[in-house]
């Protein structure tokens, strides 16, 4: 199958303002791209690209004063299968973990392991180690937090989500990531596209989503405490310790985001009208 992905952001800037934009499809899906998701902007300005410390593709530019539109649309091939599962995946002892996974055991801006460690051990130490323990964490978070777009709060942390019991997908991911790290399971935060492919109507608005990956056995596996079921058509954009590492757009000055829209849907190989 093929999936169209894209976005459009419309800003107002009172003055020229530097930006970092992390919205390209992750390099691990580069070979799947049929129509590359190149970033466009109006008015046209210079854009430079780089790969950050986590391997994510990022764009730098200086937004001009006034109205500034940023958009992209691409098409990629997808196997059309749900997220892989491996119930027999085991937990690796900390002393044997690959060095590159260790940073994902540490507390971070939105994942306060120090505040949640006692809670995690009391609640999850009885769950089977490995896949079963991560699934127990996802089951709890899925039940514990009430989802709602009106619950969005960019400053809410994992500990805040645990106490307030409401949030959006990033809050589900942050709390699950923090609990996994407390239980000595490396966990990294992910952001990307997730549409309604394979989901019966009524469908929610197309949007970006947050989920996470854990290191079990000899590799990384996807978990999604917000939906808590394997999904079809998940398209990764970026990975990091938490949302602070993978902000979709970072602006270094005052601005107003006027409109924001996302496209992620199955396609017949043609961009939808008006999406070029």
Looking up tokens 């601005």 gives 255
- Answer whether 215's CB lies under 8 Å from 131's CB: no
For residues 41 and 116, membership in a common domain is answered with no
The per-residue pLDDT for range 157-212, each reduced to its tens digit, is: 999 999 999 999 999 999 999 999 999 999 999 999 999 999 988 788 889 999 99
Q: With pLDDT > 90 as the criterion, what percentage of the chain qualifies?
A: 93
The per-residue pLDDT for range 56-106, each reduced to its tens digit, is: 999 999 999 999 999 999 999 999 999 999 999 999 999 999 999 999 999
Instruction: State the Cα torsion 151-156-158-163 to the nearest 10°.
Output: -70
State the Cα–Cα distance between residues 276 and 266, nearest whole angstrom.
Answer: 17
* Domain at 14, CATH number: 2.60.40.2250
Bridge partner list, 264: 5
For residues 125 and 216, membership in a common domain is answered with yes
The pTM score is 0.95
For residues 99 and 183, membership in a common domain is answered with yes
Average model confidence (pLDDT) across the chain: 96
pLDDT at 202: 78
- CA dist list (Å): 71 to 37, 197, 266: 9, 23, 19
Check pLDDT > 80 for residue 219. Answer: yes
Total of domains in the chain: 2
Residue 148 sits in which domain range? 94-231
Listed in sequence order, the residues at least 6 apart from 5 whose beta carbon sits closer than 8 Å to its beta carbon are 25, 37, 73, 74, 75, 76, 193, 235, 263, 264
Task: Kindly indicate the confidence band of residue 275, based on its pLDDT and cuts at 50, 70 and 90.
Answer: low
State the Cα–Cα distance between residues 259 and 115, nearest whole angstrom.
Answer: 36
Q: Is 190 strand, coil or helix?
A: strand
Task: Give the other-Cβ count within 10 Å of 86's Cβ.
Answer: 12
The per-residue pLDDT for range 104-115, each reduced to its tens digit, is: 999 999 999 999
- Answer whether 38's CB lies under 8 Å from 72's CB: yes
């Amino acid at each position: 199958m093929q999936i169209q992905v894209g976005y459009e952001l419309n800003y107002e800037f009172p003055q020229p303002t530097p930006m970092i934009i992390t919205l390209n499809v992750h390099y691990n899906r580069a070979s799947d791209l049929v129509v590359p998701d190149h970033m466009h902007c109006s008015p046209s300005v210079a854009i430079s690209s780089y790969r950050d410390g986590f391997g994510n593709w990022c764009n730098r530019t200086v937004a001009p004063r006034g109205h500034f539109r940023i958009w992209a649309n691409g098409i990629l091939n997808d196997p059309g299968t749900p997220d892989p599962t491996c119930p027999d995946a085991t937990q690796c002892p900390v002393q044997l973990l690959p060095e590159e996974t260790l940073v994902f055991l540490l507390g971070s801006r939105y994942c306060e392991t120090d505040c949640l460690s006692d809670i995690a051990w009391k609640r999850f130490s009885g769950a089977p180690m490995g896949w079963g323990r991560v699934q127990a964490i996802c089951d709890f978070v899925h039940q514990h937090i009430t989802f709602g777009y009106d619950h969005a709060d960019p400053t809410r942390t994992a500990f805040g989500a645990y106490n307030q019991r409401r949030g959006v997908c990033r809050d589900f991911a942050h709390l699950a990531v923090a609990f996994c790290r407390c239980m000595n399971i490396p966990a990294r935060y992910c952001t990307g596209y997730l549409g309604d492919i394979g989901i019966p109507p009524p469908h929610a608005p197309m949007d970006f989503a947050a989920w996470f990956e854990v290191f079990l056995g000899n590799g990384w596996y996807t978990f999604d405490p917000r939906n808590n079921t394997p999904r079809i058509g998940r398209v990764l954009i970026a990975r990091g310790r938490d949302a602070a590492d993978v902000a979709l757009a970072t602006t270094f000055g005052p601005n107003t985001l006027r409109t924001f829209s996302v496209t992620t849907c199955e396609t017949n190989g043609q961009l939808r009208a008006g999406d070029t």
